[in-house]
Structures are given as structure tokens and as C-alpha cells.
């Protein structure tokens, strides 16, 4: 059976609603930590993580920051409630440039209650520093399954300031609750820096400055990269075989020093979260193909080369083009049949049944995911974004 013929129904398990953590623990790093070490499962508390990571090894974190991407407008100011969910920047299409714009930007968005918004612009008034600003949005056309929306506003404010004033943090739909003020703090990693995600890289939510300091004290090297998590991370697999599932595109940014650090560590790293996993493994294929976009199925269609050779080719590309930061994109799907090149350990939460993230985990532990999830369900672990953590060592 090829990877594309995998049946997603083989990656199902019963997840009772009460096992989904609706809120985080009061102390981030007091969550439970499941350790899967070469087939043996045990448990500990997250603050103990540093003792399971070898001194001198490299750990890679995703420093993306979740934006307040959900906006609400009323038709005619009083009528139907329309939700506009910002997915990714369209004009300018660079995140940082877009956030610094004044007066107008365009984004690709999902629109809720679209049938009530036939035409024309929507407006709402917002208060920033005692000044009343009018924010308007207008549909400019379709973009795949989303809409191109132009936002315009008066006053001397950047789009980042507008979003902070009017936007709502988009917590995952499966929490089945309204966003609360506390989520603004708890649904960000303590090391989040680069705005752009519409969902948190949740494996990182367990880290505190205390744990990061303990990693440093244990001689574990740390690097950061950026992958902006899109709403597609929640997109269910609707096809019977995964060959029929279209992976969403995610945008990544990796500094030259991160590639150099990977090479210095023999091309191996411990990845914090599936987003770091996808970014690191995508770097290998960029080095292999010389292309800055990784298509969904490329890992299953190419002959492998040594990891260090691929990373060196990528570094050579950056040097030739005098790039300090590599901006690229990936649609990589990691599923059973995939051979990992860079990631040797993974810190990750517990994922939804029949999700591409569960496929990624299964590929990492050579199909042994049932043992991990059965243990977690039997030992009172909390699941999904605000749930407990695991360290996987295949």
C-alpha cells in the first residue's frame, strides 16, 4: 500500500468530550508529560523535560504569535452579524509589511453568515486611545475557498494596531466556548514574537521561563524558526484515502544561523511541536530540490540524499542570494511511509482522531501511536490544544 492509499479511518480513536481540555492549567509547566522512549511508555511532569533531552543537543521552537484574526461586523450597523476571519495577507503579501500598513490592506478571509452579505461594504466604529476610527471591509473576489477582503480605515494607525483593538483571538473550534480575556495570554507561547498565526503552536504552550532556563542549564542548545499556523491545521480529512486530501500552504521563515546550527549538530534536532517538525523536514526538501515551496507529495517521489548535503545546499543557496532569512512555504504531508531526516525527538500534544497530525505522529513512532494514545486515555491525560504533553523518542 502506498502512502496515498492510507485510509484515514485507520487513525480513529474514541475521544470523549470530557477529555478535551477546555482551559489550560493554572501553571503551564505543571502539565503531565508522557514519555515514549523506543517503544516504552512512562509519565512524568513537564518541568522534568530537560532530563530527557541529551546535553549538547539542539532543540527547535516555533516563535510565531497568534493574531486577533476574528472580526465581527453588523450589516448596516444594526443588522445581521457577519464574521470575517483573516487567514493570510494578500496585499502586501508579506506579513510584517502588511501589519505595518496604514489605511488599507487586503487579506484572504473566511466569511461567516455570507448569505446575509450580498454586496457593498461593512463598517464598524472602534475606539483607539479615545479616538473614534471607522473600519470598513469590502469583498474583492474569491480566492480558492476563501474571499479576498479589503480593509480600510481612517486615522494614523497600523493594521496591527487595528487588529489589536477590534480583533478576537481565534481559539480552536473544538473548545466550544467563547474566547475569554485570559486566552490572550494563555493561548500564546512565552517566546512568541512574530505575528501571523491564526492558531497557536500548542506544544509550546507548556514552556515557561523556568523550563527554558533549565534547558539552558542542562547544556541544550535552542533555536527558533517561524511557521505561521493557518486555519487549515483544523481542516478535517474528508476523503477516505489521504491521497484525496489537499494540504494547506503554510508560510515559514528560517534564519541563516538556524541552518548553520543544524549543520553543526549533524543535521539532527528535537522539534517542539508539529509545526517545527514540518518546517525542519521541509528544509531538507528545499535543499534537495532547490525550490522554496515544498509540494504535498514530494517526499514520496524523490530519491533521498544525505541530510547534511541537503542542508549545505540550502545554506549555499542563501549565501548565493545573500539571504539572512529564508522565506518559503510548505504543503508537506508527513504520513506513514515518510522517512524523517532531521527530527530525532518530538515534543507534542495529543491530536484529534483522523487528523493529519496523527498521521505525522504515527510516521514518527513507526505506527506505534495506539500504544501512546491508549496509555494517555487510560491515565487521565488531557487532550488537544490546552491539554497535556508528550516527548516522543522513536
Enumerate the domain spans of the chain: 3-65+184-393, 69-168
Beta strands in the chain (DSSP E): 32-37, 40-45, 58-62, 64-66, 70-74, 81-91, 104-112, 122-128, 131-143, 146-153, 194-197, 221-228, 250-255, 269-272, 293-294, 325-330, 343-349, 389-393
CA angle 335, 339, 344 (to 5 degrees): 105
Distance from C-alpha of 298 to C-alpha of 24, rounded to nearest angstrom: 37
For residues 363-375, give the mean pLDDT: 98
Does 327 have pLDDT greater than 80?
yes
Partner residues linked to 89 by β-bridges: 107
What integer pLDDT is reported at residue 336 of this predicted model? 97
pTM of the model: 0.95
> Half-sphere exposure of residue 217, counting CA atoms within 13 Å on the CB side?
10
Q: How far apart are alpha carbons 317 and 319 in whole angstroms?
A: 5
| Burial of 49: CB neighbours in 10 Å, binned 0-12, 13-18, 19+ | buried
Give the per-residue pLDDT at 76: 76
pLDDT digits (tens, 9 = 90+) for 158-168: 999 999 999 99
* Host H or E run for residue 161: helix 159-166
| Segment holding 262, helix H or strand E | helix 256-264
Size of the chain in residues: 394
145: confidence class by pLDDT, cuts 50, 70, 90: confident
Q: State residue 75's pLDDT score.
A: 86
Cα 277 to its chain centre, rounded Å, is: 10
- pLDDT tier at 306 (50, 70, 90 boundaries)? very high
Radius of gyration, CA atoms only, the chain: 21
Going by C-beta distance under 8 Å and a sequence separation of 6 or more, which residues neighbour residue 97?
A: none
Give 236's pLDDT tier (boundaries 50, 70, 90): confident
Inter-helix orientation angle 307-320/256-264, to 10°:
150
Q: Is the pLDDT of residue 196 over 80?
A: yes
The pLDDT of 64-90, averaged and rounded, is 92
Read off the pLDDT of each residue in 360-364 and give the average, rounded to a whole number.
98
Residue range 336-349: average pLDDT?
98
- What pLDDT score was predicted for residue 78? 76
Query: Is the pLDDT reported for residue 365 higher than 90?
Result: yes
Question: Cα(281)–Cα(343) distance, rounded to whole angstroms?
Answer: 7
What pLDDT does 232 receive?
A: 77
- Judge whether 219 and 191 are in contact, CB under 8 Å: no
Distance between CA atoms of residues 198 and 229, nearest Å: 6
Classified by CATH at the fold level, domain 3-65+184-393 comes out as QueA-like (3.40.1780)
- Where residue 144 falls among pLDDT bands split at 50, 70, 90? confident
What is the C-alpha end-to-end distance of the chain, expressed in Å? 23
Q: Angle, to 10 degrees, between the axis of helix 356-364 and the axis of helix 369-378?
A: 110
Region 86-109: what's the mean pLDDT? 95
Q: Distances in Å between the alpha carbon of 179 and those of 102, 144, 171, 187, 230?
A: 27, 28, 6, 10, 18
Rounded Cα distance, 252 and 270, in Å? 18
Question: Which residues, in sequence order, are CB contacts of 17 under 8 Å at separation 6+?
Answer: none
Closest CA to 335 of 277, 266, 250, 251: 277
Rounded percentage of the chain residues whose pLDDT exceeds 90:
94
Contact 21, 382 (CB under 8 A): yes
- Distance, in Å, from the CA atom of 323 to the CA atom of 330, rounded to the nearest integer, reads 19
Q: What is the pLDDT of residues 22-70, one digit of tens each?
A: 999 999 999 999 999 999 999 999 999 999 999 999 999 999 999 999 9
Q: Convert the pLDDT of each residue in 271-302 to its tens digit.
A: 999 999 999 999 999 999 999 999 999 999 99
DSSP per residue, 263-319:
HHTTT-EEEESHHHHHHHHHHHHHHHH--SEE-TTGGGTS----HHHHHHHHHHHHH
pLDDT reading at 188 higher than 90: yes
Amino acid at each position: 500500500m502506498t502512502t496515498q492509499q492510507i485510509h484515514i479511518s485507520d487513525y480513529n480513536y474514541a475521544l470523549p468530550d470530557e477529555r478535551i481540555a477546555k482551559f489550560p492549567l493554572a501553571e503551564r509547566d505543571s502539565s503531565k508529560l508522557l514519555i515514549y522512549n523506543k517503544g516504552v511508555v512512562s509519565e512524568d511532569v513537564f518541568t522534568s523535560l530537560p532530563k530527557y533531552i541529551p546535553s549538547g543537543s539542539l532543540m527547535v521552537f516555533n516563535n510565531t504569535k497568534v493574531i486577533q484574526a476574528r472580526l465581527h461586523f453588523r450589516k448596516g450597523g444594526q443588522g445581521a452579524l457577519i464574521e470575517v476571519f483573516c487567514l493570510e495577507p494578500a496585499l502586501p503579501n508579506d506579513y510584517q509589511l502588511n501589519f505595518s500598513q496604514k489605511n488599507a490592506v487586503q487579506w484572504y478571509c473566511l466569511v461567516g453568515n455570507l448569505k446575509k452579505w450580498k454586496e457593498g461594504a461593512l463598517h464598524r466604529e472602534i475606539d483607539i486611545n479615545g479616538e473614534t476610527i471607522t473600519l470598513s471591509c469590502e469583498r474583492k473576489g474569491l480566492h480558492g475557498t476563501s474571499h479576498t477582503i479589503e480593509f480600510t480605515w481612517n486615522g494614523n494607525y497600523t493594521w496591527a494596531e487595528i487588529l489589536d483593538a477590534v480583533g478576537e483571538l481565534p481559539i480552536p473550534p473544538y473548545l466550544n466556548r467563547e474566547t475569554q480575556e485570559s486566552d490572550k495570554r494563555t493561548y500564546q507561547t512565552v517566546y512568541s514574537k512574530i505575528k501571523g498565526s491564526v492558531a497557536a503552536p500548542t506544544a509550546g504552550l507548556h514552556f515557561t521561563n523556568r523550563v527554558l532556563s533549565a534547558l539552558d542549564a542542562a547544556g541544550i542548545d535552542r533555536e527558533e524558526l517561524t511557521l505561521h499556523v493557518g486555519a487549515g491545521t483544523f481542516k478535517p480529512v474528508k476523503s477516505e484515502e489521504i491521497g484525496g486530501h489537499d494540504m494547506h500552504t503554510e508560510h515559514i521563515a528560517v534564519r541563516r544561523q538556524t541552518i548553520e546550527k543544524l549543520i553543526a549538530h549533524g543535521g539532527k534536532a528535537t522539534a517542539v511541536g508539529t509545526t517545527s517538525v514540518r518546517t525542519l523536514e521541509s528544509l531538507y526538501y528545499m535543499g534537495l530540490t532547490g525550490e522554496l515551496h515544498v509540494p504535498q507529495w514530494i517526499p514520496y517521489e524523490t530519491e533521498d540524499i544525505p541530510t547534511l548535503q541537503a542542508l549545505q545546499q540550502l545554506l549555499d543557496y542563501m549565501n548565493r542570494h545573500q539571504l539572512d532569512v529564508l522565506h518559503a512555504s510548505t504543503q508537506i504531508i508527513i504520513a506513514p511511509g515518510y522517512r524523517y531526516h532531521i527530527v530525532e525527538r518530538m515534543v507534542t500534544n495529543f491530536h484529534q482522531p483522523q487528523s493529519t497530525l496523527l498521521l505525522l505522529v504515527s510516521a514518527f513512532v513507526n505506527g506505534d501511536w495506539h500504544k501512546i494514545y491508549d496509555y494517555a486515555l487510560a491515565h487521565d491525560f488531557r487532550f488537544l490544544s490546552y491539554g497535556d504533553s508528550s516527548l516522543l523518542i522513536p
